[in-house]
Amino acid sequence: MTNYENVLNHLMFHKALLNDHEAGERIGRYLQMVQEIEQGHYLAVRDPMEKAIAAAFELVLEHQFNPWEIDLAAFTKLYLEKVRDDGVVNFVTAGKLVAMAWTILKLQSDELLGRAEPPQQPEAFFSDWDLGLDVYDTPEQFDYTQAILQGRIPLQEAIRREGKRAVTLMELMQAFDEARVEAARQLELAALREKNRATAPKDFGNKVHGEDLNEDLALTWSRILESNGGSIPLAALADHDRWERVTVFVAVLFLAKMEKITLYQENFPYGEIFVKRISSEETLEPVPAHKPAEEVAA
């Protein structure tokens, strides 16, 4: 019996037992129940400690004992200590105990959930109504308020057409007229730019990077300026070779650091990287020569 008491002291919520006026009586009742259990189900469990734990669980499961008066954490600790001390585990018993513990945990959480549900309040109206009919001057007011609170709502949002209209074919045609004129102009400009790019000795070349940072920045900037402020893919700024792509990439990082542009990528990590100009400057202030590139970028 000492074993049972020992286990019970660990398993029961001390507060629940000790703060209770009927603590003595209840402990006595528990112990009596445990004793009865000893003659019942858990005879098969030989180990006195395991038998005591099983009996305590049985209190909850078979005798509708409050599941929250079983301290599952304390039990777990107790059982683990025993396993460690013994060095042997009876898996059949352990399995049974775990199953019982799980059931108790479930009971505990069910009860918690039940307590967490907000109490069912009657519609506020009824509590008002209890105050007396005098709050409403006419029966109609009472009826109206009751109708509203019961969900007979006389309001619904007006449904109208979206204030947008489809574009007409005529507009598409007019837009086409304008687009063709503008496209012709754009194409001329593009041809001029390409001619400039081809003739000017401005290709990034195979110089050692860092020596001509300002030149790299200026050239990259001039290409960005061609975009009129819209977002452009990084790839569109460097169309020659891998070396140029690297040079432009580095220049773009500098420009971003200098807050001349913003960079963003769609669909990280493999999406297209876009460059958007945020500065209106036409020419860039040269980066001071004495300032190493690393410092500017830092």
Partner 1 sequence: MSEQGVVEAALFSAGKPLAVEEIAQATGLHVEVVRASLEALAKAYDERGSAIEIARIGGKWTMQIRADYGEKAQAFAPPELAKDLLKTSALIAYYQPIKQSDLVRMVGSKAYEHVKALEQLSLITTKPVGQTLELRTGSTFLEFFGLPADDRDELKGILAERAGIASPPAGTEPTPPSAATSVPNAKPEKHV
Tell me, what amino acid is at 12?
M
Decide whether 98 or 187 has the Cβ nearer to partner 1: 187
130, 140, 282, 285: residue in contact with partner 1 (rule CB under 8 A): 140
CB of 187 to partner 1, least distance (A): 5
Is 284 in contact with 260 (CB distance < 8 Å)?
A: yes
CB closer to partner 1, 167 vs 298: 167
CB of 113 vs partner 1, minimal distance in Å: 24
The answer to whether the CB of 96 falls within 8 A of the CB of 54 is yes
| Spatial separation of the C-alpha atoms in residues 275 and 264, rounded to whole Å | 7
Does 85 contact partner 1 by CB under 8 A? no
Torsion of CA 87, 88, 92, 96, to 10 degrees: -30
- Least CB distance from residue 146 to partner 1, whole Å? 9
Is 137 near partner 1 (CB under 8 A)? yes
Does residue 160 touch partner 1 according to CB under 8 A? yes
Question: Are β-strands 231-233 and 273-277 bridged in parallel, bridged antiparallel, or unpaired?
Answer: antiparallel
- Site residues (CB under 8 A) for partner 1, limited to 236-255: 236-239
Contacts to partner 1 from residues 185-224, by CB under 8 A: 186-188, 190-191, 194-195
Identity (one letter) of the amino acid at 50?
E
CA trace torsion 266, 269, 273, 276 (10° rounding): 60
Applying CB under 8 A, the span of 41-49, 74-82, 156-164, 251-259 interacting with partner 1 comes to: 156-164
Cβ neighbours of residue 107 closer than 8 Å, sequence gap 6 or more: 60, 67
Enter the tokens of residue 187: 């194409």
If one asks whether residue 163 binds partner 1 (CB under 8 A), the answer comes out as yes
Nearer to partner 1, 14 or 193 (CB): 193
Please report how close the Cβ of residue 173 comes to partner 1 at its closest, in angstroms. Answer: 5
Q: Shortest distance, CB of residue 194 to partner 1, whole angstroms?
A: 6
Strand partners of residue 231: 276
Q: φ, ψ for residue 261 (rounded to 5)?
A: -140, 165
What's the CA angle centered on 229, arms 253 and 246, to 5 degrees? 25
| Residue 159 touching partner 1 (CB under 8 A) | yes
| Contacting partner 1 within 262-281 (CB under 8 A) | 272, 274
Q: Which is nearer to partner 1, 103 or 145 (CB)?
A: 145
Contact status, residue 35 vs residue 1, Cβ threshold 8 Å: yes
Say whether residue 289 binds partner 1 (CB under 8 A): no
Burial class (CB in 10 A: 0-12, 13-18, 19+), 87: exposed
- Residues forming the site for partner 1 (CB under 8 A): 124-125, 128, 135-138, 140-141, 143-145, 147-149, 151-173, 175-180, 182-184, 186-188, 190-191, 194-195, 226-228, 230-233, 235-239, 272, 274
